[in-house]
Structure 1
Amino acid sequence: MPTAHRGRLPRLHHPQVREILAHQQTVTPGSGLVIVVRDLSGGGASGVLHDVATGSPTWNVVRTRLLSGPNRPGVMSLPDDSADTLLLIEDIDLADTASLRRLYEEVHRGDRPWRLVVVATMSTVGPAGTEGADGDAPRATFRLGDVEVVLPPLTVENVGVAVESSTGVLPHPHLAVDLHTMTGGRVDLLAELLDGAPADIRAGRAPAVPESWSAALSAALNNVLNSTDTGTTSSPGARRQLVDLLRAVAVGGGPSADPVPLLLLRDLTGEVTAANDKVFSLVLRAVHGPAVEFRDPRHRAAVLEQTPPAVCVDLHNRAAHVHTDPGRALYHQLQTVLAGGPGTVDNVVSQIRSLTTKYRNRGEWQSAAELSCIVPGSVEAVEAVEAVEALTLSGDLPAARLWSRGSFGPAPCVSFLAMHAGDRRRAYAVLDDAASDDAAGPGTERQRALLSFADWDPHSMLEHATSADDNLLITVATSIIDGSVTSTDRPDVPHRLVNGWLSLVNDDPLTAREMLSSPLPSLSPSLRIWRDAWLARTHYVLGDFETARRTVERGLATGDVHGSTLLDPVLLWTGAQVAAFQGDQSASRQYTSRLPDDPESFLIQRLPAAMSRMITTATSSDLVAALRVGESLARIGTEKDTQQPGFWPWEDVYAQCLVRAGRIRAADAVVTEAEQRAGTRGLASVAAKLRVPRGSILLRRGDVDAGVRCFDEAVDIITDTPMRAYQSRILLEYGQVLRRLGRRRHADEVFARAEEVFDSMGAPAMVERCRRERRAAGISGTATDAAAQATGSTSGGLTTQEEQIAVMAADGSTNRDIARELTLSAKTVEHHLTNCYRKLGIRGRTELSGALQRR
């Protein structure tokens, strides 16, 4: 088939790429992992491998493809390299079992110091729709992978995106449904239709079934009828019986080609006997239900095209009378009328509207949406509006977006969709352009309250929430404005999620974890993302880093699937911090690189994005960049009040950056304002974290006793809380201060406590950093370190002072900072650093951190 369109189709498997990259990040040096990508999409695997390679910039990427045929090579030998290696293999199912076993054993050999990850694709649906012997399993009998990632077929919404990308024309939702039904969501089949009938698709018409699809159906039928193992023959009667069965399955599947229940199939065709076994093995398959569906969507499309209108009318009419689902019965009744059968369209549409109203009144939004979506285009305006609303309320945001892009839908729903897509301009414009009577409705006021929350304007949020009489949003706005903890006893899901978030903000992460992680039935995708954003933050604060990282990935994947990016920055902020704590700088940079940098985005996106950048640049010793981001946060604070204690904690990090830059007066102003605002809240985390820059300011001004007392108070406050992430940071900063003051024994004690907390959180890089600090202090309690003190040198040949200077330089201190803190001249510091570079075999300052870790 032509392949031109496949290269132009957008990549639509972002969640699977992210899942693969997340598994890749779990591999430790000296170990390996095999990830098998099982392609059910009919052509998406190559794009996934490309995106995985792009998302692995620090890995040595090797790509190969297996070829079918008697002279094809086996699986290639593994690269012999000292760098982390990513081996990408296409069509691994073509390999023989012996090669697969050898590959698996080589990957898990365990005697190499570097990481090795194999990502191998296999297709369960070949170019002609062929499958393994059992219809699902690959040809190879050996189970290769440690992890399996499945590429599902495209959704209806994906098909709409692909068509628009390829043709430049936004398809009508009904056309997107038709194309999805014809192709089963397979990339290769969709590309074939786009190549073969672009004019039809641009004109909004479903294309004719390609001749090759009809030929494939004829070949399958002949194969069945010529078979001898079931006793079937190629007589006209046998062929007619077979065709009747296939027509019943094709028509009975409805608009989405759903599996047809056996009970319905018997009502349409009579008893399904054992003589149909060959049909089920080659053309149909039984699925859970019990029900029946086509193996290959091309066969279904060809059957429908070849079915005479009178036969379609008869099958739809019978299905309408025997179907137990009233919605499906009405669909078949509508199709009966549209195909020329008895009845009128207006009469059936009236029944559909009546049933839709019942579903809406009962809150059964998905059922209401499905009914609204089946109304034909000639009478659909009202139903399209209602479909958008029902799909939005059911949480099916991609489908709602597909239906709303033709400008249908209530303004609050369209605005809600734009908000979740991060389109701030459109989210406001839709409401501003709404008719005056709609603009005053409670739905519009509630959406304006949500927009105010997304832009962190609690006073405006309170005003609109009050107009909408929405108690939950009133609670949120009031809590932000005055810091009150107004948790409610209402057991419904939204209230539990809000209460969990407010518990986290108010220094009760244990309650937050209980509320956010307890089973919450019937969560819509938007609420699942909200839950994961703050649950991941909760796990981070508690120091449960692995769970936090898994929750981040789950939230990002949900957002990808449902087209919601609003809370991505909150998730990425947590992911970047956790990865940095764990020493996975590559993952931390990857999370940070995906943060939005658009001044027009919502404030709830800009704030965590800026905070994440400031923290990661500060910890990576890029003081200039950290100050630049901190200044942008301060500017945001002058435009809108974003400094409510506990919600967006950034002042302590920014103030510390200002201290390091020698801007003591500016740091004092930042801390003083934050202290004044935090005074009435009584939040332990805020009070403890602000004492760190306050202590640093006092030390810089020469008041050593008061400065050390501030750090002592910070440690005392935070130690009585379960917030290990904050404890560890404060202890590390305090230890560094004590070391620089020459209080080596006290510093060693504090570093030992920090090391213990980091170790309990699973942060090995930070554990090693604490050990380096203890070595630099000259006291660490081991025989080796005692000997180092006696000789005046440390491991690697550095003297105690050289080690101290090297650690400070690796942490980002300038020569002038180091000279001031150690009472040395800048020239002396430079001399010591030159000795450090020579002894460690490195070329300069940027390599210090890695060299110190490798010793």
Structure 2
Amino acid sequence: MLNPHDGVVARAQELSELDALLGAAASAGPQCVIVEGPSGIGKTALCEAFAALHPDLPVRRAEGTPWERGLRGGILAQLGVASPPGSGRLDEEGSGAEAWGPDGDQPAWLPAGRAAGEWLAGLTGDGAPAEGGPALIVLDGLEDADELSLEALAFALRRLRGPVLVLAACGPAGTRPASPAAQFAGAVRARRLRLGPLTHEALRELALARAGVDLGPDAVQALWRATGGNPGLALEALADGAEALGAETLAAEGPRAVVRSVAERAEAALAGLPAPSRALVEAVSVLGGTPSAAAAAQLARLPEGDAEALLAAADAAWAAGLLECRTVAGSLQVTIRDPLVRDAVHAGLGPLRRSTLHARAAELSESTRDRVRHLVAAAAMPDGDLAAAVDALAEAEAAKGDWGAAADALVAAARLHVDPALREDRLVRAAEAMIGAGDLTRAAPLARQIESLPQGAERDAALAYHAIHTGQARRAGALLARAWETRPPTAPADLSARIAQYRVLDALGNWDGEAMLAWTETAVRIAGPDSTAGIEARAMLGLALGLMGRHEEARRAYDELSSSAHLGGRDQRLRLGRGWVALAVDDMDTARLELRAAIPPARRPGSLRIALWAHAWLARAEFAVGRWDDALATARAGLALNDPVGISLVEPVLRLTAAQVCALRGQAAEAAEHSQHAQAGPEAYPVMRLSGAMAAAAVAESAGDYAAVLRAFDPIVHMDRTPWVDEPGFWPWQDVYANALVMAGELDRADAFLAPLEEAARGAGHRSTTARLGSVRGRLLGAQGRLDEAVAVFEESLAAIEGLPLPWGAARVRFAYGQTLRRAGRRRDASGVLAAARDAFAVLGASVYVARCERELQAAGTGVFRSRAGSRADSEETRVHAPVPAPAAFTAQEEAVARLVAGGRSNREAARELFVSVKTVQYHLTRIYAKLGIGSRSELAAVYRGGAAEEEAL
């Protein structure tokens, strides 16, 4: 989202992390964070946005500049640190080094450090923060800050106990180990926050907000390629593009391929090189990637066999910051450090020299792939013979399962063929190959071109394949049905097999096990069980059986496929399916092992589509076993992978885990953002809508808003669900919905909803589902006054989940159990169960539920031992609503009521959270007002705000 203060976009995660550090500063003393990244990435914008979001904080700012780097104490002077007596101010004429000179044997920075300490103590009120919260110090350009100031600040911060957050923006020069900025960061144990590039969606938002241009999909992709997601470069490219192309063309096509400042930087660096070094860099830009220095030297026509000349040329380019050089297995490898500079160097060659170099590179290439690639780059017009060679390469790459390389070859073939019919055919096949590679962003313009072709089975199949991955369920289904019905009698078998495979994916999106199984068997029968298409279809067979609850058959299907001699290196789909099914049956060790294996290492080929699904389900598995840091990291990694390729079908599943972890940890802003992006429209596939509903419900449940939970699930409850949506294990949403019904007092509806699900779980012998549904049944029985039955159900639920590595699920059961006991008046029994739940939530970092358990324990009349400050459990909710000492005359129940009402809860909301009647809340409020000598809710809130400030000051 765009911050209204300064235009920072898509930095909710980073702002949330800074909020957490601000809370740590309030509770645990000084904190420092270094915001790192290249020029233009938005370091300053993030710092200023954070300050703008906290207008009540006392803020001090200073900025380092290259020309003031030698001014000793310059940063201290900007901050307002007083110079030693009699030395004058630093910004006065004649004052400078002498202001902070050494005193005898003392180091030069010690007087400055003492002065900085006094200044910080005054800023933080000697440990008692101002009413607005901790102090905030913003240091921009840390890499250019003078050394004396950094030494002094480090000295002072290491001794300070008051609440202060130092937020420093630092460029690449400041991250070198020997730099003063890096030494300062180490001395104060600063956290590092590295800003990455903006996503495609964020670039589009930036263009609309800052340049007033609504970029289309092709234009956004062009902007990404030209800038690498750097917002500073993006704004420059947009400004230049608007001037050179006009707003309409810019919105449709995007800016030029190379940003002007990058081109100027590249040309300036090249101009300073000796001729052999420039030729070497240009050769590397033509070869691409990380070629051997020997190959680049041969293309650059450096003296053959002259290692000294090669090293001299490479050394000059390395010293100029253009080349990165490393030795691998006795061979010197070279690459251009900045991909944007590589593109600028390549573009700057000019058409003739660029074509000549690519033609020579083709002659020198040792592989067919490289030879054809360079011939294509050298071509200036259509060439039928070259097109035939590219066709052959595309077939070879597809047979190996490298759909990305196949797509590149087919796009080239479409341009090179002279025959229009062949060009159209290659265009359709290129789009399918791109989608197979998982690159929906590149496939989108091809799909738009294919729309204009005459209707036919090939065209409809390709468009359906695209619609599946962009989440257009109804469109995909209609196109697939027509493609299957309109196949010509002489259609090749591979067309029928492809349509059948696409129908398998369509059935998966609809979570229709019967259709998925039928089309999988059709695809295998047409393609043959040992063909590439057949192997891929068989990898889906086990998943189809699994989602229908036929788990043993699924296991046998995967065992049979894994032993096939024809599997080769195409095991990624097998690993995904096996891990997915294992997750559904609570076999967490197998699930995590297989799903990790389905994510190929960076340099190993594999399907990006499959890797994204593996990220999504591995994140779910890590969440289930309580490894929430890993779950969040996996989900974020999947989202980062998906951003440039845009597979809408999988994004909501990735967002679900991220929203859930953030919500439970009290990181409300980031949770809300993930939930918002997880939402899919009514035309989307059920797997997308389920994930979006679960994400929204997780955020709402964490906020205690059960009406919002019911609203989130309402479309799911009323949609035409297949029987397999409620198959135990795959989509654990039912207990959250039923729990919200109970909390909303809809007991009969909850009972009717639970009954068939409980029967299915028992019939399947699914332990975690039995436990989850049992916790809601126990809560329902408790609400009906049938406590003995409720206790029995809760105990059965705990027994069912015992031994499974599912700490979140077990803690939820205990929390519901303890609440039910406490509501029934069995406070002593409730305390033990709630304390166990609280401890489990604290280990997970579920700060929202830690706080709820503590309120329940207070309402039960039990003392609360809070988690130590700075722990993962001490997140936003526990920090912002930290307990404050209540009057000694308060009972535990009065204290719990007072906290909730002071925090803004209505009497009805407080009653619902504490499981008491509204009259009971009113009774307690009357006694609270009398004991405090106040007469209104606003006065109660003021008392608690004051108490919180006093506690923070201790």
- Shorter-chain TM-score: what band? 0.7 to 0.9
Q: Is the contact between residue 862 and residue 892 of structure 2 (CA under 8 Å) also seen in structure 1?
A: no
Paired residue for 1:596? 679
Amino acid at match of 2:370: R
Structure 1 pair 503/373, CA: closer, same or farther in 2 (3 Å)?
same
Task: Compute the displacement of 1:94 (Å).
Answer: 3.6
Q: Does 1:543 align with 2:626?
A: yes
Paired residue for 1:531? 614
Q: Is the contact between residue 462 and residue 474 of structure 1 (CA under 8 Å) also seen in structure 2?
A: yes
Paired residue for 2:103? none
Q: Is the contact between residue 18 and residue 553 of structure 1 (CA under 8 Å) also seen in structure 2?
A: no
Report the Cα distance in structure 1 between the residues aligned to 2:909 and 2:539, rounded to whole angstroms. 53
Paired residue for 1:697? 780
Please, which moves more after superposition, 312-321 or 21-30? 21-30
| Deviations 1:314-347, CA, capped at 9 Å, x for gaps | 54443322222433333444455539xxxx8332
Report the Cα distance in structure 2 between the residues aligned to 1:268 and 1:527, rounded to whole angstroms. 40
Structure 1 pair 657/395, CA: closer, same or farther in 2 (3 Å)?
closer
Q: Is the contact between residue 802 and residue 833 of structure 1 (CA under 8 Å) also seen in structure 2?
A: yes
Task: Compute the displacement of 1:830 (Å).
Answer: 0.4
SS, match of residue 549 in structure 1: helix
Q: Does 1:494 align with 2:573?
A: yes
Paired residue for 1:831? 923
SS, match of residue 679 in structure 1: helix
Report the Cα distance in structure 2 between the residues aligned to 1:614 and 1:845, rounded to whole angstroms. 33
SS, match of residue 120 in structure 1: strand
Q: Is the contact between residue 689 and residue 714 of structure 1 (CA under 8 Å) also seen in structure 2?
A: yes
Paired residue for 1:472? 539
User: TM-score, normalised to structure 1's length?
Assistant: 0.77
Q: Is the contact between residue 530 and residue 567 of structure 1 (CA under 8 Å) also seen in structure 2?
A: yes
Paired residue for 1:843? 937
SS, match of residue 476 in structure 1: helix
Q: Is the contact between residue 21 and residue 55 of structure 1 (CA under 8 Å) also seen in structure 2?
A: no
SS, match of residue 678 in structure 2: coil
Task: Compute the displacement of 1:725 (Å).
Answer: 1.1
Structure 1 pair 137/735, CA: closer, same or farther in 2 (3 Å)?
same
Report the Cα distance in structure 1 between the residues aligned to 2:916 and 2:482, rounded to whole angstroms. 66
Structure 1 pair 827/345, CA: closer, same or farther in 2 (3 Å)?
closer
Paired residue for 2:167? 118
Q: Which residue, 124, 141, 147 being the options, matches 2:192?
A: 147
SS, match of residue 37 in structure 2: strand
Task: Compute the displacement of 1:245 (Å).
Answer: 5.9
Amino acid at match of 2:539: L
Report the Cα distance in structure 2 between the residues aligned to 1:153 and 1:828, rounded to whole angstroms. 52
Task: Compute the displacement of 1:607 (Å).
Answer: 1.4
Task: Compute the displacement of 1:93 (Å).
Answer: 3.4
Paired residue for 1:657? 740
Q: Is the contact between residue 43 and residue 188 of structure 1 (CA under 8 Å) also seen in structure 2?
A: no
Q: How does 1:98-247 map to 2 (within 5 A)?
A: 98-100=148-150, 111-112=161-162, 116=165, 118=167, 120-122=169-171, 142=183, 144=185, 146-147=191-192, 149=194, 151=196, 187=234, 190-191=237-238, 194-195=241-242, 197-198=244-245, 223=272, 242=275, 246=278
Report the Cα distance in structure 1 between the residues aligned to 2:616 and 2:930, rounded to whole angstroms. 46
Q: Does 1:285 align with 2:323?
A: yes
Q: CA RMSD in A?
A: 5.3
Structure 1 pair 743/299, CA: closer, same or farther in 2 (3 Å)?
closer
Q: Does 1:688 align with 2:771?
A: yes
Paired residue for 1:74? 75
Instruction: Give the total of aligned pairs.
Output: 800
Report the Cα distance in structure 1 between the residues aligned to 2:683 and 2:830, rounded to whole angstroms. 46
Paired residue for 2:102? none
Task: Compute the displacement of 1:832 (Å).
Answer: 0.7
Paired residue for 2:832? 749
Paired residue for 2:407? 369
Q: Does 1:456 align with 2:511?
A: yes
Structure 1 pair 429/587, CA: closer, same or farther in 2 (3 Å)?
same
Q: Is the contact between residue 153 and residue 185 of structure 1 (CA under 8 Å) also seen in structure 2?
A: no
Q: How does 1:577-596 map to 2 (within 5 A)?
A: 577-596=660-679
Gaps of 5+ in 1: 1-6, 125-131, 226-241, 783-792
Amino acid at match of 1:749: G
Q: Which residue, 603, 616, 641 being the options, matches 1:558?
A: 641
Report the Cα distance in structure 1 between the residues aligned to 2:67 and 2:154, rounded to whole angstroms. 23
Task: Compute the displacement of 1:281 (Å).
Answer: 3.5
Report the Cα distance in structure 2 between the residues aligned to 1:370 and 1:432, rounded to whole angstroms. 29
Q: Is the contact between residue 262 and residue 340 of structure 2 (CA under 8 Å) also seen in structure 1?
A: no
Q: Which residue, 474, 477, 487 being the options, matches 1:437?
A: 487
Report the Cα distance in structure 2 between the residues aligned to 1:290 and 1:745, rounded to whole angstroms. 70
Report the Cα distance in structure 1 between the residues aligned to 2:710 and 2:427, rounded to whole angstroms. 50
SS, match of residue 36 in structure 1: strand
Task: Compute the displacement of 1:258 (Å).
Answer: 7.0
Task: Compute the displacement of 1:623 (Å).
Answer: 3.3
Structure 1 pair 695/613, CA: closer, same or farther in 2 (3 Å)?
same
Please, which moves more after superposition, 448-457 or 567-576? 567-576
Structure 1 pair 671/295, CA: closer, same or farther in 2 (3 Å)?
closer
Q: Does 1:733 align with 2:730?
A: no
Report the Cα distance in structure 1 between the residues aligned to 2:622 and 2:511, rounded to whole angstroms. 24
Please, which moves more after superposition, 715-724 or 664-673? 715-724
Task: Compute the displacement of 1:527 (Å).
Answer: 2.4
Structure 1 pair 430/725, CA: closer, same or farther in 2 (3 Å)?
same
Paired residue for 1:354? 392
| Deviations 1:138-159, CA, capped at 9 Å, x for gaps | 996757463252646999x989
Q: Which residue, 490, 507, 510 being the options, matches 2:589?
A: 510
SS, match of residue 726 in structure 2: coil
Structure 1 pair 680/852, CA: closer, same or farther in 2 (3 Å)?
farther
Paired residue for 1:721? 804
Structure 1 pair 267/360, CA: closer, same or farther in 2 (3 Å)?
same
SS, match of residue 681 in structure 2: coil
Report the Cα distance in structure 2 between the residues aligned to 1:852 and 1:714, rounded to whole angstroms. 43
| Deviations 1:373-415, CA, capped at 9 Å, x for gaps | 4458463544444433333333444444455454389655554
Report the Cα distance in structure 1 between the residues aligned to 2:758 and 2:175, rounded to whole angstroms. 70
Q: Is the contact between residue 512 and residue 538 of structure 1 (CA under 8 Å) also seen in structure 2?
A: yes
Task: Compute the displacement of 1:724 (Å).
Answer: 1.5
Paired residue for 1:785? none
Paired residue for 1:43? 40
Please, which moves more after superposition, 800-809 or 268-277? 800-809
Structure 1 pair 318/553, CA: closer, same or farther in 2 (3 Å)?
closer
Q: Is the contact between residue 154 and residue 185 of structure 1 (CA under 8 Å) also seen in structure 2?
A: no
Matched residues, percent identical? Answer: 26
Paired residue for 1:129? none
Please, which moves more after superposition, 284-293 or 645-654? 284-293
Q: Is the contact between residue 698 and residue 704 of structure 1 (CA under 8 Å) also seen in structure 2?
A: yes
Q: Is the contact between residue 806 and residue 848 of structure 1 (CA under 8 Å) also seen in structure 2?
A: no
Report the Cα distance in structure 1 between the residues aligned to 2:849 and 2:682, rounded to whole angstroms. 34
Structure 1 pair 336/52, CA: closer, same or farther in 2 (3 Å)?
same
Task: Compute the displacement of 1:635 (Å).
Answer: 1.4
Paired residue for 1:253? 285
Task: Compute the displacement of 1:369 (Å).
Answer: 3.4
Structure 1 pair 53/429, CA: closer, same or farther in 2 (3 Å)?
farther
Paired residue for 2:704? 621
SS, match of residue 437 in structure 1: coil
SS, match of residue 586 in structure 2: coil
Task: Compute the displacement of 1:669 (Å).
Answer: 1.1
Structure 1 pair 458/317, CA: closer, same or farther in 2 (3 Å)?
closer
Amino acid at match of 1:83: G
Amino acid at match of 2:161: D
SS, match of residue 35 in structure 1: strand
Please, which moves more after superposition, 597-606 or 274-283? 274-283
Q: Is the contact between residue 203 and residue 234 of structure 2 (CA under 8 Å) also seen in structure 1?
A: no
